[in-house]
């Protein structure tokens, strides 16, 4: 984590409190972005999920589909929920992220696809793989006002697992601010 991204506070939750905190606001939905190249059995894990879609647009070759990032809505009673919250990091490291959003899946997918379209300082366009946790941790504190507004219009928070627990990035007036979350038990 860069010096800009040092969490200002640390929050301790029991497992059930962490789950409850993620689903506390009925106006928000919990989504996960799963990185296909980090989760080798992703196709099987997506089978019981009701709402999901690929974050890569267009027709993809089978290998591209396996390695692509996928957006899925995580329901509070989903069997995938506890795996994402408590087991995925130990199995796959930086598997992806959680996102809290007021948008339905297809609108959020559109916004997230737009975020992949980036431009260098020399005006060259490129695909920004923003959904990689290490890149998102570096990116969020550097967003300018316009970029921050584009992100906060679609996502009120990003929740990223790491070796020390979770970092919960909440949207606010000045962009996204991180809090360290420790899940006990």
Lay out the sheet containing 165-172: strands in order across: 9-14, 175-184, 165-172, 157-162, 96-101, 29-35, 69-73, 52-54
Q: Which of 36, 23, 65, 71 is nearest to 51 (CA)?
A: 71
State pTM to two decimals.
0.92
Contact in structure between 11 and 166 (CB atoms under 8 Å): no
In which element (H, E) is residue 14 found? strand 9-14
Contact in structure between 42 and 62 (CB atoms under 8 Å): no
Looking at the DSSP assignment, which residues form a beta bridge with residue 97?
Answer: 33
> Can you give the pLDDT at residue 102?
97
Judged by DSSP in three states, 157 sits in strand
Mean pLDDT of 23-32: 97
Count of all residues that appear for the chain in the document: 185
Looking at the DSSP assignment, which residues form a beta bridge with residue 52?
Answer: 72
End-to-end CA distance of the chain: 25
Phi (first) and psi of residue 160, to 5 degrees: -120, 130
Confidence of residue 22 (pLDDT cuts 50, 70, 90): very high
Judged by DSSP in three states, 101 sits in strand
The string of pLDDT tens digits covering residues 89-142 is 988 999 999 999 999 999 999 999 999 988 888 999 998 999 999 999 999 999
Mean pLDDT of 163-182: 91
- Tell me how far apart the alpha carbons of residues 133 and 156 are, in angstroms, rounded to a whole number: 16
The string of pLDDT tens digits covering residues 30-77 is 999 999 999 988 989 898 899 999 999 999 999 999 999 999 999 999
- Tell me how far apart the alpha carbons of residues 99 and 108 are, in angstroms, rounded to a whole number: 10
């Amino acid at each position: 984590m860069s010096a800009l991204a040092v969490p200002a506070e640390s929050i301790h939750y029991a497992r059930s409190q962490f789950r409850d905190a993620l689903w506390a606001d009925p106006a928000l939905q919990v989504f996960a972005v799963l990185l296909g190249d980090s989760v080798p059995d992703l196709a099987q894990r997506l089978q019981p999920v009701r709402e999901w879609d690929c974050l890569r647009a267009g027709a993809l070759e089978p290998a591209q589909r396996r390695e692509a990032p996928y957006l899925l809505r995580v329901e509070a009673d989903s069997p995938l929920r506890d795996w994402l919250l408590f087991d995925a990091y130990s199995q796959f490291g930086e598997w992806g992220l959680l996102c809290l959003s007021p948008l339905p899946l297809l609108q959020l997918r559109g916004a997230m696809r737009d975020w992949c379209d980036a431009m260098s300082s020399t005006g060259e366009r490129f695909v920004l793989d923003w959904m990689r946790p290490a890149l998102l941790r570096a990116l969020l504190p550097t967003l300018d006002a316009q970029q921050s507004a584009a992100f906060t219009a679609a996502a009120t928070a990003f929740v990223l697992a790491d070796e020390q627990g979770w970092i919960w990035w909440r949207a606010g007036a000045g962009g996204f601010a991180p809090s360290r979350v420790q899940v006990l038990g």
